[in-house]
Amino acid sequence: MIELASGLIYYPEYFDRVAQENLLAHLRDIIRAAPLFTPRMPRTGKAFSVRMTNCGPLGWVSDQERGYRYQATHPETGEPWPRFPPEILAAWGDVGKYAHPPEACLINYYASAARMSLHQDRDEADFAAPVVSLSLGDTCLFRFGGTTRGGPTRSIKLLSGDALVLGGPARLAFHGVDRVIPGTSTLLPERGRFNLTLRRVTRPA
Ligand code: SIN
Ligand code: FE2
| pLDDT-derived band at 90, boundaries 50, 70, 90 | very high
Cβ atoms of 64 and 75 within 8 Å: the answer is no
Q: What is the pLDDT of residues 153-163, one digit of tens each?
A: 999 999 999 99
- State residue 205's pLDDT score: 87
Q: What is the pLDDT of residues 18-41, one digit of tens each?
A: 999 999 999 999 999 999 999 999
Instruction: Assign domain 2-199 one CATH number from 2.60.120.260, 2.60.120.10, 2.60.120.590, 3.40.50.150.
Output: 2.60.120.590
- State residue 146's pLDDT score: 97
The full set of domain ranges for the chain reads 2-199
Ligand sitting nearest the alpha carbon of 123: 2
- Ligand 1 pocket, residue 177 CB under 6 Å: yes
Task: Answer whether residue 44 shows pLDDT above 90.
Answer: yes
Q: What is the pLDDT of residues 10-20, one digit of tens each?
A: 999 999 999 99
Strands 116-119 and 175-180: antiparallel
- Ligand 1 pocket, residue 116 CB under 6 Å: yes
Mean pLDDT over 58-68 rounds to: 97
Burial of 107 (0-12, 13-18, 19+ CB in 10 A): buried
- State residue 157's pLDDT score: 98
Q: What is the pLDDT of residues 165-201, one digit of tens each?
A: 999 999 999 999 999 999 999 999 999 999 999 999 9
- Ligand 1 pocket, residue 54 CB under 6 Å: no
Quick check: helix, strand or coil at residue 190?
Answer: coil
Mean pLDDT over 84-108 rounds to: 97
